[in-house]
Amino acid sequence: MQRFFFHLRDHVHSIIDPDGVELPDLSAARQKTLGAARDVLSADIKTGLLDLRFRIDVEDEDGQIVHSLPFAQAFAVIQDDNDGRSVAAFRR
């Protein structure tokens, strides 16, 4: 097991994870990051405000950033284009 730290950041602020989480590998850390970003976004959208300036940086035990997920990459937006066809605006 490895310990990963999940830091929430924008261009100004950081919320640092002091404890981290033990996970089997980087793939598991990536999945946890995606779930965490979607949890934050789903709570935000209930208030009517979707703030995409944030990202989650994942650090390993040596303090190296091993993964970074901007919130805008945590979901897909599907809407109709001008011709009535559904198109994905963002892909993850």
Number of domains in the chain: 1
10 or 87, higher pLDDT: 10
Domain membership flag for residue 91 = no
pLDDT band at 61 (very low <50, low <70, confident <90, very high): very high
Domain extent, residue 55, equals 2-73
Q: Stretch 18-25: mean pLDDT, rounded? A: 98
Tokens of 39: 């949890």
Domain membership flag for residue 90 = no
Q: Supply the pLDDT for residue 2.
A: 97
Q: Stretch 19-29: mean pLDDT, rounded? A: 98
Tokens of 61: 């035990």
> Using an 8 Å Cβ cutoff, are 56 and 37 in contact?
yes
Domain membership flag for residue 25 = yes
Q: Supply the pLDDT for residue 90.
A: 54
Q: 33 vs 5, 29, 58, 63, 73, CA distance in Å? A: 10, 6, 8, 17, 11
pLDDT digits (tens, 9 = 90+) for 27-59: 999 999 999 999 999 999 999 999 999 999 999
Q: Stretch 1-25: mean pLDDT, rounded? A: 96
Domain membership flag for residue 43 = yes
Domain membership flag for residue 87 = no
Domain membership flag for residue 20 = yes
